[in-house]
Amino acid sequence: MKSKILLSVVGLVLGISTNVYADVFDGIHLNDETKQEWLKEIGVLTGIMEISGEIFIYEQGTNNLYSFNGVDYVYIPYGDEDILTRILHASTPENLQFTLSLDEARIGLYTTYKFNSNKGIYVPLNSLKGLYTVDGNIINNTNSISSSLSITPEYIVNLTDSSLSLTYSDADSNIWEIQNFIQDAPYYLTNIEILELSKSGEILYSTMDEDYAAEQARIFELNEQYIHEKVVAKQEQIEAAEAALKAQQAAIEASLTDVFPASIITGTMKYATNGFSAGQSVIVDRASSGNSYYIRASNGSLVTVPWNSVSIPSDPATYQQRATTEQIEDYINAKGMTSRTNYLVWTDLYRQRTYVFQKVDDRWTLIRDILCSTGKNITPTPRGTYQLQSYVPYFGVSKGYMCKNAVQFMGDYLFHSILFDQTGSYLLEGRGILGVRASQGCVRFSPEESEWFYGTLPLGTTVWIN
């Protein structure tokens, strides 16, 4: 009778897989791609064998028995001869170092893990039970399978004088049991792997040998422990490097804060309204010209107040001393800013300049330093971090002027050229307007710079205004 059964077996888990090695990343949050990269970099278990005694090959001779972590191994040099001949005549390796292989070794009916060395492999002594009889450290060139069964590509036959019980797996990894495998009658089975053979309740052969299964489990556990320790060490190294970088960036940022001060407009409330009291100093974020101001509340939110409720200071003079390229790059990189594109834009209100950066070797590199004109204090350009959102070839014609090469970064706020006439033929304002606060909140460039900006920077680029 043949029946399908479930068996408890130790599986071979040797491939580099983020699913297999999920436990080694406990407490470490990485995406699967990064985990895969780490596993490839870390590799697998390595170690050094010890010569622990001798193996006896029945009626042929002896050679070294090796040991690692309480498991006995034999050394099999690469070659074409049968396994026992290679074990018997193997020279002791020059060094006993090994690495757990990602491939498996087939020893007769057994599939086993192996350790690679320079000129051969180490396999567990108990894995030889798949091909030979192993009793302690004695290997006999026979086994219970060959004396009990005749196995051909088409069928198997019971050669013993009584019925057997046979457990096997088929080509689809289904596991079956023949409980009464009678003598002499062929069973037409192909592409099977014999898992266990017993006679009258006595196990003659089993791939689920308890000693062998325990040894495999021990090595796999040791391998996971090895990888986990390497993962933790790598994570600690990365965290230490990140902490050092943050400290360095903070020091750079602090040293340059006076070079790049924030241009904050502080107004005074003329009368109490919307939670603000008369005479209170307030930070003005932006304006709707002639209608209202947006005031930054203590909790960070924006509160709208009437246009005439706030006294706004006059425009400050533009700071004329240019920052060096090194200062500009060091400061923006110390800020740790990111962008969805390979570009980054920073408008320096203090100097009325816009800096454009490109990512080179994971660092923001200055590629353009543009003279600009931002909003007056009464209609300020809002400070903050934004993104380039859309291109507008021109606008303003219905109002009697034309601004060209406009790129929106928030609402009605855009980077664009200085003002032209309605036809776009000549300028309505001189280039001298650049370098001073002059707009209703937009950032103005010369015609040439606005054309370059419009044609170069992709949407999604981060914009920082400060």
Domain locations along the chain: 2-142+209-224, 265-311, 325-465
CATH for 265-311, options being 2.30.30.40, 3.30.565.10, 2.40.30.30, 2.60.40.1180 = 2.30.30.40
The whole-number pLDDT of residue 161 equals 86
Class of domain 325-465: mainly beta
pLDDT per residue, tens digit, the chain (466 aa), is 443 333 222 333 344 444 446 677 887 888 888 888 888 888 889 999 999 999 999 889 999 999 999 899 999 999 989 899 999 999 999 899 999 988 888 787 677 899 999 999 999 998 888 778 888 899 987 766 767 888 787 888 888 888 988 888 888 888 898 888 888 888 888 878 788 888 888 877 776 567 777 888 888 888 888 888 999 999 999 889 888 888 888 888 888 989 999 999 999 999 999 999 999 999 999 999 889 999 999 898 999 999 999 999 999 999 999 999 999 999 999 999 999 999 999 999 999 999 999 999 999 999 999 999 999 999 999 999 999 999 999 999 999 999 999 999 999 999 999 999 999 999 988 887 899 999 999 999 999 999 999 999 999 999 999 9
For residue 5, what pLDDT is reported?
Answer: 31
Q: What pLDDT digit, counting tens, does each position of 258-309 carry?
A: 999 999 999 999 999 999 999 999 999 999 988 999 999 989 899 999 999 9
What was the pLDDT predicted at 111?
Answer: 79
pLDDT at 29 (0 to 100): 82
Provide the pLDDT for residue 339. 97
Which long-range contacts does 212-215 make (Cβ < 8 Å, 24+ apart)? 212/110, 212/112, 212/124, 212/126, 212/127, 212/129, 213/9, 213/10, 215/71, 215/124, 215/126
- The region that residue 146 occupies, defined by phi over 0 for left and psi between -120 and 50 for alpha, beta otherwise, is alpha
Answer whether 198's CB lies under 8 Å from 165's CB: yes
**C-alpha dist (Å) from residue 141 to 4, 78, 333:** 33, 20, 70
pLDDT of residue 209: 65
Q: What is the CB neighbour count within 10 angstroms for residue 49?
A: 19
pLDDT digits (tens, 9 = 90+) for 433-458: 899 999 999 999 999 999 999 999 99
